[in-house]
Structure 1
Amino acid sequence: MECTGSRIILECLKEQGVDTIFGYPGGAVLNIYDALYSFPDIKCILTSHEQGAAHAADGYARATGKVGVCLATSGPGATNLVTGIATAYMDSVPMVAITGQVATPFIGKDSFQEVDITGITMPITKHNFSVRRVEDLPDIIRRAFAIAKSGRPGPVLIDIPKDVTGAKYDYKSVVIEEKKDNSEISENEIKGAVEAIKESKKPVIVVGGGCNISDAKEVIQEFQNKLKCPVCTTMMGLGAFDGRNPMFTGLVGMHGTSASNKCICESDLVIAMGARFSDRVTSNAKTFAKNAKILHIDIDEAEVSKNIKADSFVIGDIKRVLEKLNNKLEAREENEWTKFAYGLINKDNSKSVRVEPEESVNPLYVLKKLYELTEGDAVITTEVGQNQIWATQGYLYTKPRTFITSGGLGTMGYGFGAAIGASVGKNKMVFDIAGDGSFRMNCNELATVVRYNLPVKIILLNNSVLGMVRQWQDLFYEKRFSSTTLERQTDFVKIAEGYGALGIRANTNAEVEEALKKAIAYDGPVVVDFYVDKDAMATPIVPPGASIENMLTLD
């Protein structure tokens, strides 16, 4: 049938199973928004800002495993997506960003609201397309989705001039079949991995973000059962291994647990799965796992030996690789290494959070109480900073895709938009763990959650400072608190109420439980403003340049 370019775009989105678009209208995409009237099965969530739309599409993708879609107009609309696209790129999130562009006769003439968005986003997308003919639209959209979700996922941008969205072409629908990953996994690489594992006496598993992407939780558990070894995770790997498992040591690296970092230092084989060995994991790369060999399993060959030299590796999807390894490995008995790890874990777990009822709110107490009240069955998003670290420490993640954070880019303002996308995608309550600095960057999205009555609960750990930066100034800059004390006198409860959400305030530990219960029971969006002392720190922390075994605990 003959269709306009706008209708072709939406028909192709339907082919891909898209049920939600996050976006903001403008002149260059008016034809697309007009065509949306004829597509009631595709929800269009109007955010308050294009960056919020990008973060929402990202959060939707992480929570559901499907491709997230965002839509923005040309010029500033497109450039407002850039931070969200970069965030998705750094964390390997499948996303398709559609931007409007000025009509083709005006391209390259410094026209009103014209930018070269494909040039701008080239370094932060898996691929991008500049469409010039309506005839090319169906193939480009289908290719964009295939690229976004294949192999190591990532964002793809499609830039479409306004006249292309209005032009007509004979569209033919196709049925999109989900393609299974049939890429070959080298038997020689599998053999080398098996030999490395059999030779090791003190292996440790590092679960990275690729394990969440691969939905590899069950095969990882089977793998651990065979090796009887400790398991730690990167921040992006949380949830891919059950946090309640007695051999789970917790987070590794700069803000890792003592158990995780000591296991890495004592190990003779580090089995890294879907992890990129970022500086936040390794700290001083020269001293990282200096007594161990490295077995790296990853879908992206470019990651192997990029930051830490691998002694052996297997290239392929984590789940498929582990299925092969599990078939070739015999189960071990618990041994001295197992007992050593148990001892470290038990020592870490014995450090309970002790609070005085009338003192200012302890952030870890908030997270532990939230875990208790939700029984661990919640999706958690975070902003970036101390709030992010406390969220990794106080809440136990037992299922994949339940911890959503900006790991690679460290984007302040990410968590609220991501919570919107996760809530829409999963149709359930989502908690955004936020600091007041990050929340001020995206609190305009309160208008979005109120309009759609989304059960998004902002857990605001409000210390009136830029907490993590101030913490570094305290520890490493001789307490020169340059531009990190906010002194804004902002009343977040009134802001919440002004937008139409419920605002709750808790000044002491004694008020925490009741505030959380009230937020959970409320049918709609909530901001809970917890007063946190400005000197509260997220520890332990590895000083810059130090080995991960040299942790500051400040106990």
Structure 2
Amino acid sequence: MELNGSQILMECLLEQGVDTVFGYPGGSVLNIYDELYKYREKIHHILTAHEQGAAHAADGYARATGKVGVCLATSGPGATNLVTGIATAYMDSVPMVAITGNVGRPLLGKDSFQEVDITGVTMPITKHNYIVKDICKLADTIREAFYIAQSGRPGPVLIDIPKDITAITCEYMPSMPKKVFRQVCSIRQKDLDEAVKLIRDSSKPMIYCGGGIIRSSAHKELLEFAERIQAPVATSLMGIGGFPETHRLSTGLIGMHGSKASNMATTECDVLIAVGARFSDRVTSSVNTFASNAKIIHIDVDPAEISKNVKCYTSIIGDAKEILTNLNEMIVQQDHTEWLENVRGWKEEFRFDYQRDDKLRPEFVIEDIYEQTNGEAIITTEVGQHQMWAAQFYKYTMPRTYISSGGLGTMGYGTGASIGAQMGMPTKQVVHIAGDGSFRMNCNELATISYYNIPVIIVVLNNSVLGMVRQWQTMFYEGRYSETTLDRGPDFVKLAEAYYMKGYDVFTQEEFQQAFKEALESKKPVVINCHVGEDEKVLPMVAPGAPINDLILE
């Protein structure tokens, strides 16, 4: 059948199972938005307040559901406003397709109004990108983009479509989506055998779980693997939820703000099995001392990650779920009672804790959210101290329940991500934990949350400072608080009310408990502004460049 480019785009989105698109219209995508109007019963479009919010919403949707997130923007500034969101998804391996309009083909390269070379701009932060200059190639390009976004190590793909391509016609043939198979051809038996031998000969094995566990849906296989080899399990920020934190083998977060048990066990282990992790500097700190007593087995889908940051002893390339399935079949039950007793001692010696008194402290807020949601909420965060407290004090037992910008560390990420997560998982309660600095960067998305009545509960840990930067200034810059005091508006409760939302100002533990209880019961969007101390610290902490077993505890 003969269809124009905009119709082809709609049909291809439906082919790929897309039900939600986050975006913002403009001149170069008018034809696409005209077609979206006609397809509104099949594809739900969420109009965000800003294109960056659309990108973050698509990212949050993808992380919460495991499906491909889709965002749409016009040319020029519309396209460049997606860049931070695309980079965020790229750093954290999130499957996303960003669709941008561009000026018509005759105007390309002439500095035309609202023209930008968005494929050139995004080349370093996408798995692949396209500019479609032939209408006959549009459908196959869209299909290929979705396949690339999901296959291997997931990531964002951008499709740039000139405006005239969205209007002209060609023959369209429907097609079923190409099945995405797990990457298994690179899994070599000799690599599996070598890993099994190292694990069998180990007396102090340790597992380091990264975001690849969640991307490959390998959490059940990891649990079986850990129990089979009787090894403690530490998680990176991106790996949170990949292993249940209530399990006796869990040691929690690893790295700069990790637990003493995770950091000590990694330092003392004789074999470290890293699964779907990239050895970020926030995990390793001093590369020369990281796991220096261990032979490192690195399991990853991306061969480029092997020995990139930390040199490994051996590696297995391929899908984590398939690799762990193979290892579980090959390994007999291990017993490391003495080693686990040592680790348990570290867990008892220092737990994530805080001064328990009558003050409203950030850690109390996170713990109470955990209690009132029975540990079943999806938590989204911004970036900063609140992000770390949310990682430390909420006990995650399932994947895709902690959604945060890890690699890029994007302040302004979380409110958009909470929109996407809630739209993708409407039966779950999404709680967005923000700092006042980050929330100022994206509070315009309250317009989106309010208009669509998205029942996100936004909890702002408001300390009137840029908390994490201030913490560094206190500890490493002799208290020179250069431009980190946020002694200015807005009044977040009045701001919520301006968007027709309920807002709470809370100063005490009792006030927070009551406000959060009412928010849960209301099933409506709510902002809770928690007034906490400006000098609260995220502890433990490893100083930059120090060994991870050298923890600052107070």
TM-score category of the 2 structures, normalised to the smaller one = over 0.9
8 A contact 2:450–2:499 mirrored in 1: yes
Corresponding residue number in structure 2 for 1:467: 467
Between stretches 253-262 and 177-186, larger displacement belongs to 177-186
Task: Give the distance between the partners of 1:422 and 1:523, measured in 2 at CA.
Answer: 15
* Cα deviation, residue 334, structure 1: 4.2
Matched, 1:375 2:374: yes
TM-score of the two chains, using structure 1 as the length reference: 0.98
2:322 is aligned to 320
Aligned counterparts, 1:339-358, within 5 A? 339-349=341-351, 352-357=353-358
Letter of the 1:482 counterpart: S
Cα distance in structure 1, aligned partners of 2:380 and 2:16: 26
CA contact (8 A) 1:205 1:232 kept: yes
Q: For residue 433 of structure 1, what is the aligned residue in structure 2?
A: 433
Q: What CA deviation, in whole Å up to 9, does each residue of 1:283-316 have, x standing for no partner?
A: 0111111111111000000001000001011001
- Give the deviation of 1:335 after TM superposition: 1.8
Q: Any idea what SS the aligned residue of 2:31 has?
A: helix
- Aligned-partner Cα distance in 1 for 2:181–2:119: 30
Equivalent residue, structure 2, for 1:507: 507
- Equivalent residue, structure 2, for 1:386: 385
Whole-Å separation in 2 of the counterparts to 1:433 and 1:64: 20
CA-to-partner distance for each residue in 1:389-428, whole Å, 9 max, x for gaps?
0000110100011000000000000011000000000113
Structure 1 segments, 4+ long, off by >4 Å, are 351-354
Number of the residue aligned with 2:303: 301
**In structure 2, how many angstroms separate the alpha carbons of the residues matched to 1:182 and 1:148?**
14
Q: Given that residues 96 and 145 in structure 1 are in contact (C-alpha distance below 8 angstroms), is that contact kept between their aligned partners in structure 2?
A: yes
Q: Are positions 1:524 and 2:535 aligned together?
A: no
Contact 2:90 2:127 survives alignment (8 Å):
yes
In structure 1, the residue matched to 2:539 is: 539
Match of 2:416 in 1: 417
| Contact preservation (8 Å) 1:219, 1:322 | yes
Residue 526 of structure 2 aligns to which amino acid in structure 1? V
Q: State the match for 2:222 in structure 1.
A: 220
Shift of 1:346: 2.8
Separation in 2 of the partners of 1:292 and 1:342? 20
Amino acid at match of 1:369: D
Unaligned stretches of 5+ residues in structure 2: none
Shift of 1:195: 1.1
Q: Which stretch of the first structure deviates more once superposed, 97-106 or 339-348?
A: 339-348
Question: 5 Å matches for 1:126-525?
Answer: 126-181=127-182, 183-184=184-185, 185-349=187-351, 352-357=353-358, 359=359, 361-427=360-426, 428-525=428-525
Q: Is 1:32 matched up with 2:13?
A: no
Unmatched runs of 5 consecutive residues or more in structure 1: none
Q: Is the 8 A contact 1:248 1:345 kept in 2?
A: no
Match of 2:68 in 1: 67
Secondary structure in 1 matching 2:551 = coil
Contact 1:432 1:458 in 2 (8 A): yes
- Aligned partners of 2:218 and 2:321 also within 8 Å: yes
For residues 218 and 163 of structure 2, the distance between their equivalents in structure 1, rounded to whole angstroms, comes to: 42
Given that residues 247 and 345 in structure 1 are in contact (C-alpha distance below 8 angstroms), is that contact kept between their aligned partners in structure 2? no
Does residue 17 (structure 1) correspond to residue 8 (structure 2)? The answer is: no
Letter in 2 for 1:13: L
Give the Cα–Cα distance (whole angstroms) in 2 for the partners of residues 321 and 300 of structure 1: 13
Q: Give deviations 1:337-395, integer Å, cap 9, x for gaps.
A: 0111122223334x6545322x2x21110001110110011100110000100000110
Could you tell me whether the CA contact under 8 Å between 1:356 and 1:509 is conserved in 2? no
Distance of aligned partners of 1:408 and 1:135 in 2 relative to their CA distance in 1, 3 Å threshold: same
Asked if 2 retains the 8 angstrom alpha-carbon contact of 1:24 and 1:71, the reply is yes
Q: Distance in 1 between matches of 2:140 and 2:176?
A: 13
CA–CA distance in 1 between the matches of 2:471 and 2:337?
40
Contact 2:184 2:322 in 1 (8 A): no
User: Is residue 282–residue 288 contact of structure 1 (8 Å, CA) maintained in 2?
Assistant: yes
Deviations 1:74-121 (A, max 9, x none): 000000000000000000000000000001100011000000000000
**Is this contact kept in 2: 1:90–1:409, CA < 8 A?**
yes
AA at the equivalent of 2:421? A
In the alignment, the residues of structure 2 paired with residue 550 and residue 497 of structure 1 have an alpha-carbon distance, to the nearest angstrom, of 46
Identity of aligned residues (%): 57
Cα displacement (A) at 1:247: 1.3
The C-alpha deviation readout for 1:467-503, integer Å capped at 9, x for no partner, is 0001100000000000000111421000001011110
Would the aligned equivalents of 1:355 and 1:509 in 2 still touch at CA under 8 Å?
A: no
Structure 2 CA distance for partners of 1:251 and 1:368, relative to 1, 3 Å: same
Partner Cα distance (2:183, 2:84) in 1: 33
